[in-house]
Structure 1
Amino acid sequence: MARESWGSRAGFILAAVGSAIGLGNIWRFPWMTAENGGSAFLLLYLLIVLVVGVPGLLAAFVIGRRSNRNPVGAFKSLAGSRAWTVLGALCVVTSIMLMSFYSVVGGWILRYFLESATGAYFASPEAHFDAISYGAAAFGYQLAVLAVTSLIVAAGIRRGIEATTKVMMPGIVVLLVGLAVWAAQQPGAAQGYEFYLGFDGTYLAENFLSVLGSAAGQALFTLSIGGGTMITYASYVDDDRSLPLDASTIAVFNLGVGVLAGLVLFPLLFSFAAGPTDGGPGALFVGIAGAFAGLPGGRLLGAVFFLVVLLAALTSLISMLEIPVSFLVDEFDLERSTATRGLFVLVALTGGVNAFSPAVFTLFADHLVDLFLVLGLTGFMVYTAWVLGPAAVEEYLEGAGPLSRPLVLPWRYAIGTVFPAFLLFTFYADVTALIGLSTGTELLLAATVLTVVPLVIAARRSVSEPRSRSSESTD
């Protein structure tokens, strides 16, 4: 079966940006920002996206384009021990976990978009969200969102994913710009900007470890790295493209849309709600929905806003579903339509648990996914730097321009040492906070060193004779 590829560079960039933006920048971002000190969280988030996210994207791109395979097939076919296929399997599991709770949120958004026509949530936004967020109705809307996602993915890379995201992404940006202009004119806009953009050094100093872990998890969530999406998308990329340029472009677009979304959300939360801390995962639906209740044209504004969020949700869900679909197509030679239908049933079952159980939903959305993404990206980086090694350098340089070529060796050794250590440090900080342990920085550093050193040694020992690009592509 001939493997598809992107029809254009713009198609790949827009699909990858759509995956990265998604609900991470619109639904999850205000919730996480509010819980972690506002601007203190924003600063660390921006730094991690640029300093760790871009090199991490590059590692995923190198694995994907080098192999022309899904995550499982990539680690199976490239040089190194077959034990690394466990990391590919982790990607498939993580994508299903992500879809299981993400599709629930997508169902909420679809319902709010449709209800904007009648103003059903206007009278009492909090009570309305509490009544509809879980249960049989939530599951029904979840299935509708999954069905739309499945139809798009089943249509293929060019006719489905690329064609759809080329329309959705410009639409999202245009609508967000219009909403940001409108939000700036609301009464609480100045307070919202102060919370969002005014740096709070005291809060950051007092809560550094907890904010760091949350910011790292959010950065990986919004960039779609650590879960295999970018490996999968890069596997459809042609050899003449500059991976460093593509990674930088995607990260900058992601940051731009993320900051733009904040310029919409926080002025509205301070204008029409009790601030951004109300609502937790439902902050978007309680605080923002209330903004439209007493406004002229509130129903139209509500429909436009939730249309933006719905499009963002779909672009991310598409990328998540493509991971297990590509796995089944590549490894078992299934028809794309058959693989998509089977996964629709699977995610409907796993997602249904999230749709009926708030406790399971919160566990997935607030903790487990962040931890899996951090572990996944750590593995990608170590594998790229030490198992692929010179082959990764060759892949990086293929199509790279004069500005990025001198950075290849610093990139390789940073993703092989410094960045995995940073990610594992945040992982241990998150785990200890999750289980309620109070640990000092010294203990976290010791645990990080005791993990990184054996991991690097094991990776270097698993190296086999690397094959040329031509031999890899004929597997």
Structure 2
Amino acid sequence: MIEEEHLVQTSSQKNNAKASATDQFSTSGFILAAIGSAVGLGNMWKFPYITGQYGGAAFFLLFFCCLLFVGLPILLAEMAIGRSGRGNAVSSFYALSQNKIWGKLGFLTVLTPFLILSFYAIVAGWTLHYATISLTGGLFNVPDYTEAFVGFASGYMPLFWQVVTMALTCFVVVKGISGGIEKFNKVLIPGLGIILIVLMIRSLTLPGAAQGVDFFLNPDFSKLGAESALVALGHAFFSLSLGMGAMLTYGAYVRPEQSLGKATLAIGAGDLLYAFIAGLIIFPTAFSYGIEPSQGAGLVFMALPAAFAAMPFGNLFGFLFFILLAIAALTSMVSLLEVPVAYAMNRWNVDRKKATILVTIAVFLLGVPSALAMGPLADFTIFGKNFFDFMDFITANIMLPLGGLIVTLFTGYAWKRVGEETGISGFWYNVWMFLLRYVAPIMVVLIFAHSLGLIQF
């Protein structure tokens, strides 16, 4: 339990916070880092699938509306809390409210990314492994891609790749904001954009690609309904990294003169564009090679390798595809790790290097059962789920919606000076407050209930 005295910074902690505040994002650096946090693995295999399942372009339009009216208002709120509080996800809530209850609730947004990172690093390791064997050609020398993936995931090699991904993430975060996270994203996010375009062009020029594009972009409004609305809402919420303290923590490193409103729109546009191009990669490729585009992780690690094996220069395009996934994973991992690191620096008054190394070790140890959940620890279950699936379930279905609800209620009701921080006033301020006070909380509760199976359609 977090005690009140730990929510209030000591004088030495204040000095530490002020020192860290000098290490800030540049304007472009913050937007790229935030886009890097939002762009993750889920958009590459989940978004195309649910788009095709719920009406193609009709669902894409619905997703855009959810992003605009729920996702972006919460995103702006998180960044405003971080920049005004100039601390971690716990101290910022307390500093702006002077109420220890809000500080304790804010701890959920520190714990959530810590838990997510423990198993997210495993999937990131899978992508690096597949990128490596794609480049060497080893991926295409197996007769059964499903058997190959199961054999890899059920062994001990995921532990090695978990070490690699955590070490890379630790290295970046140790370097700080401007010297580490910003530089990292300034290189990888443009690189990700280039790879996206190359893969999109390759996919669109495959035989039969037009059928995949038609499946993705042809609107079918008959498939829209209450369930599709909640699915679109949930994806808009999660694709922006909301409820996990990442955008709040990044907000603490934003310069006072930077427009949070413009940054919010830029981040939303980047996330939307990435999801759209992902669809133009997955669907044409899947339809060109007769692949069912509804297999989730199986699509990426079991089905698409067969497509790359069949196409000219498949090892190159397979390598680019998995490197694309690895970049998306690593940029998200950096933002996830920064949240508990910022908390540790402030809470225990330690320097960035020590805090990062200690948190990284703790995350790695917690992630070991997830790395072995499909193999040596497959028989170890919690509520009928292996450790990997259990961690995924409680974070995605319980902790993230609760974190988002905390942000909306705090900004809408508890924090009275939010307009001054964002510079929003008049009509647009009233619209934003209406969305935060009434629309977003109801929508988040519906996401929560639907994800837990409490609402069925």
TM-score by length of 2: 0.88
The question of 1:212 aligning with 2:229 is answered yes
Aligned to 2:219: 199
Q: Which residue of 380, 389, 400 maps to 1:362?
A: 389
Give the counterpart letter for 2:421 in structure 1: E
- How does 1:134-213 map onto structure 2 within 5 Å? 134-205=154-225, 208-209=226-227, 211-213=228-230
The question of 1:21 aligning with 2:39 is answered yes
Give me the whole-angstrom Cα distance separating, in 2, the residues matched to 1:89 and 1:367: 16
Give the counterpart letter for 2:422 in structure 1: Y
Paired residue secondary structure (1:354) = helix
* 8 A contact 1:132–1:138 mirrored in 2: yes
> Structure 1 regions of 5+ residues with no counterpart?
441-475
Give me the whole-angstrom Cα distance separating, in 2, the residues matched to 1:153 and 1:382: 30
- Residue 223 of structure 1, CA deviation: 0.5
- How does 1:103-142 map onto structure 2 within 5 Å? 103-122=121-140, 123=142, 124-142=144-162
* 8 A contact 2:397–2:452 mirrored in 1: no
Residue deviations 1:93-134 (CA, integer Å, cap 9, x gap): 110121122111100000011101232222332221121124
Give me the whole-angstrom Cα distance separating, in 2, the residues matched to 1:30 and 1:115: 25
Q: Which residue of 271, 279, 287 maps to 1:254?
A: 271
Give the counterpart letter for 1:384 in structure 2: T
Q: CA RMSD in A?
A: 2.0
Give the counterpart letter for 2:270 in structure 1: F
Q: Out of 129-138 and 144-153, give the one that drifted further.
A: 129-138
Residue deviations 1:307-348 (CA, integer Å, cap 9, x gap): 121111110000000000000112221111111111111111
Aligned to 1:394: 420
Q: Which residue of 240, 245, 252 maps to 1:235?
A: 252
Give me the whole-angstrom Cα distance separating, in 2, the residues matched to 1:25 and 1:383: 29
- Residue 300 of structure 1, CA deviation: 1.3
Paired residue secondary structure (1:22) = coil
Aligned to 1:102: 120
* 8 A contact 1:21–1:254 mirrored in 2: yes
Give the counterpart letter for 1:14 in structure 2: L
Give me the whole-angstrom Cα distance separating, in 2, the residues matched to 1:7 and 1:284: 34
- Residue 26 of structure 1, CA deviation: 1.8
Aligned to 2:67: 49
Give the counterpart letter for 1:381 in structure 2: T
> Structure 2 regions of 5+ residues with no counterpart?
1-15, 375-385
The question of 1:430 aligning with 2:443 is answered no
Q: Which residue of 11, 21, 27 maps to 1:9?
A: 27
The question of 1:77 aligning with 2:121 is answered no
* 8 A contact 1:154–1:160 mirrored in 2: yes
- Residue 33 of structure 1, CA deviation: 4.4
- How does 1:281-320 map onto structure 2 within 5 Å? 281-320=297-336
Aligned to 2:369: 353
Relative distance call for 1:328 and 1:379 in structure 2 (3 A) is same
Aligned to 1:328: 344
* 8 A contact 1:87–1:379 mirrored in 2: yes
The question of 1:374 aligning with 2:440 is answered no
Residue deviations 1:414-466 (CA, integer Å, cap 9, x gap): 20112111211222122225xxx75x7xxxxxxxxxxxxxxxxxxxxxxxxxx
Give me the whole-angstrom Cα distance separating, in 2, the residues matched to 1:388 and 1:286: 48
Aligned to 2:5: none
Alignment coverage as a number of residue pairs: 426
Give me the whole-angstrom Cα distance separating, in 2, the residues matched to 1:140 and 1:39: 41
Give the counterpart letter for 1:260 in structure 2: I
* 8 A contact 2:64–2:272 mirrored in 1: yes
The question of 1:277 aligning with 2:310 is answered no
Relative distance call for 1:406 and 1:94 in structure 2 (3 A) is same
Aligned to 2:438: 417
* 8 A contact 1:192–1:269 mirrored in 2: yes
* 8 A contact 1:272–1:287 mirrored in 2: no
Q: Percent identity?
A: 35
Aligned to 1:92: 110
Give the counterpart letter for 2:169 in structure 1: T
* 8 A contact 2:25–2:253 mirrored in 1: no
Give me the whole-angstrom Cα distance separating, in 2, the residues matched to 1:42 and 1:17: 19
Relative distance call for 1:235 and 1:12 in structure 2 (3 A) is same
TM-score by length of 1: 0.85
Paired residue secondary structure (2:136) = coil
Give me the whole-angstrom Cα distance separating, in 1, the residues matched to 2:131 and 2:342: 31
* 8 A contact 1:138–1:355 mirrored in 2: yes
